[in-house]
Structure 1
Amino acid sequence: MKQMSVENDSLVTEFIFMGLTDQPEFQLPLFFVFLLNYIVTVMGNLSLMILICLNSHLHTPMYFFLFNLSFVDFCYSLVCNPKMLMGFISEKSISYTGCMTQLFFFCFFGNSECYVLTAMAYDRYVAICKPLMYTILMSPKICSLLMLASYLMGFASAVAHTTCMIRLSFCDSNIINHYMCEIFPLLQLSCSSTYANELVSSLIACIVVIVSGLVILTSYASILLNIVRMSSATGWSKAMGTCGSHIVTVSLFYGSGLLTYVKPASTESVDQGKFFSVFYILVVPMLNPLIYSLRNKDVKLAARRTMMRSTNSVKR
């Protein structure tokens, strides 16, 4: 363990990941499993972003938000996956600076995704409950402001988490019980008071729950009431088709997040959280483009048109 002396305190200058498992026989199979996950995640989200950009009929608020969701998931995978993959086949260490950088972007994109999903829920609410006002309430300016606010909220939370983490001292162990630089595994290693970090984490969690959770629940409660009032089966089908993909995405993301973080703080809970986090950090970003592509006629049509244009250009 590399160390340096500052004010009579020995500060860790690098961390070592325990990873998902310390069993050598599982390292190579897990590497290929998560390499496939990484490739599908990157290609899926990148393809969806390209489709939205190239097809004018997808230049609507709904697909503007979907583009941003894919962008966040794409960046999320770049932050988390490469270092994890390296840990399966080579060095599991990361520098102190690299760890804080990874923590910052993990918090930034993770919190931004919460607010992007919130904006998408509001968009669905306006589309179903206030269709005559849709073009006004979801104008390009308002959509851009919603996304700007989402990224600013994510940036503010990332700055708060990282600033609080930097002020801590790490003196003894430098082994992180995780496959990446996550907040709570890092707090377990600190030899200074973590009260401020825990307070900031609780405050940010409360803000996310109050702002994001409340808006999403209120939006879908209003949508549900609106659907109940519909007399036609066509109205029901159209409403569920509009909201179905987003409901699945929100359920997967928030469900796995709650399993990871809402539990007593202990070594066992950190171990459990490490495995639950695989789902919302690695699996959900891979599934999102598939969920929206397989259940969406507009995306399928855009994919066919893009493939036909590409084929025709090659023939020429």
Structure 2
Amino acid sequence: MAPVNQSAITMFILQNFVDDPWIQDVLFCLLFALFMAAIAGNGLIIATIHSSPNLHTPMYFFLVNLALMDMICTVTVLPKVLQSLVAENSISYGGCLIQMFVFSWVLGSELLLFSAMAYDRYLAICRPLHYGTLMSGRVCVALATFVWFIGALNSLVLTCLVLPLSFCGSNLIAHFFCEIPSVLILSCSPTFINNVMTVIADMFLTGLNFLLTMTSYVFIISSILRIRSAEGKKRAFSTCSAHLVVVTLYYSTALYTYVRPALGTAGLLDKVIAIPYTTVTPSLNPLIYTLRNKEFKTSFKKLLFPR
């Protein structure tokens, strides 16, 4: 059979987690619950911060950006996953490209945003006297613009590199959504350039940002340990611990996502690795960032129960 050029491809088939109908029903209910939790939770974060002038600070500004990214990620991936569990599990070639671009855009932007959030916490704790000047409203907007733009540029390059590829043989994607590494495996064209670019993206978005974030936290923890009062230490740790938990989860899974093309592996492990940053983390972020935040909880209660 002659190779089929990408222009002749009309659709891909997404592989479900399992073939057992009963387990698929259970997964549908679980993923639908996570979908609703992600949309509702992140939506409430944005609404609460927007309606509360006391929360109009750099830390919450970046949290709004994170909530927006989580919502976009959820809407990009989960609806198609839910559809494939109960009905059609195919996706058009164009739809696959769009899903690849948007997901890579959001993932890359979140990794950059974590560095910006760590830098914000570093200035707030280590250089409090200069915090207002160094993290002004203009600086916050500039950082957020940089994060969204570089994430989009990175995704645009990686997605455009898929366009010239030819696909032959099976059009079954061994994943529950169109992630660039999973689509590359189906190509019968050389993917050396694609793999090189994913490694570069890994070094910049994952490696460099992880180094910057961890460096910030070394200074932060060092400063916190010098605080004499137990209450001061507790408050400082509470503002950073949530971010550190989310960062660790994201970087560990994102590193595998970018490195895996060079390893040439695919299958169930890819799906398991993808679950945290596509479904679980967007759903849990609202709780992780606000559960121990008294300031946010007070504003949230005022939003729900205005006097």
After TM superposition, the score normalised by the length of structure 1 is 0.92
Counterparts of 1:99 and 1:254 in 2: how far apart (Å)?
A: 24
Counterparts of 1:90 and 1:33 in 2: how far apart (Å)?
A: 17
In the other structure, the counterpart of 2:15 is 18
Give % identity.
Answer: 38
* Alpha-carbon offset, residue 103 of structure 1: 0.2
Count of matched residue positions in the alignment of Structure 1 and Structure 2? 305
In the other structure, the counterpart of 2:290 is 293
* Alpha-carbon offset, residue 292 of structure 1: 1.3
In the other structure, the counterpart of 1:133 is 130
Counterparts of 2:211 and 2:56 in 1: how far apart (Å)?
A: 28
| 1:14 maps to amino acid | M
Secondary structure at 2:170's aligned position in 1?
coil
Is the Cα contact below 8 Å between 1:170 and 1:190 reproduced in 2?
A: yes
* Alpha-carbon offset, residue 224 of structure 1: 1.6
* Alpha-carbon offset, residue 265 of structure 1: 2.2
In the other structure, the counterpart of 1:149 is 146
In the other structure, the counterpart of 2:263 is 265
Residues 267-288 of structure 1: CA distance to partner in whole angstroms, max 9, x if unpaired? 4x54202112111111001000
1:63 maps onto 2:60 in alignment: yes
1:185 maps onto 2:189 in alignment: no
After TM superposition, the score normalised by the length of structure 2 is 0.94
1:303 maps onto 2:303 in alignment: no
| 2:126 maps to amino acid | C
In the other structure, the counterpart of 1:30 is 27
Residues 85-131 of structure 1: CA distance to partner in whole angstroms, max 9, x if unpaired? 00000000000000000000000011111111111100000000000
Counterparts of 1:211 and 1:61 in 2: how far apart (Å)?
A: 23
Counterparts of 1:202 and 1:257 in 2: how far apart (Å)?
A: 12
* Alpha-carbon offset, residue 238 of structure 1: 2.1
2:110 to 105, 108, 113: 113
Is the Cα contact below 8 Å between 2:181 and 2:257 reproduced in 1?
A: no
1:48 maps onto 2:45 in alignment: yes
Gaps of 5+ in 2: none
Counterparts of 1:308 and 1:189 in 2: how far apart (Å)?
A: 53
In the other structure, the counterpart of 2:208 is 211
Is the Cα contact below 8 Å between 1:261 and 1:273 reproduced in 2?
A: no
Residues 36-58 of structure 1: CA distance to partner in whole angstroms, max 9, x if unpaired? 11001100000100000001100
* Alpha-carbon offset, residue 261 of structure 1: 5.0
Note closer, same or farther for the CA distance 1:297–1:148 as it changes in structure 2 (3 Å cut).
Answer: same
In the other structure, the counterpart of 2:219 is 222
| 1:156 maps to amino acid | L
Secondary structure at 1:198's aligned position in 2?
helix
Counterparts of 1:85 and 1:271 in 2: how far apart (Å)?
A: 18
Comparing 94-103 with 201-210, which one deviates more in the overlay? 201-210
* Alpha-carbon offset, residue 25 of structure 1: 2.6
Is the Cα contact below 8 Å between 1:75 and 1:109 reproduced in 2?
A: yes
Counterparts of 2:17 and 2:137 in 1: how far apart (Å)?
A: 43
Counterparts of 2:222 and 2:207 in 1: how far apart (Å)?
A: 22
| 2:16 maps to amino acid | G
* Alpha-carbon offset, residue 18 of structure 1: 0.8
Comparing 247-256 with 216-225, which one deviates more in the overlay? 247-256
* Alpha-carbon offset, residue 22 of structure 1: 2.2
2:277 to 277, 280, 283: 280
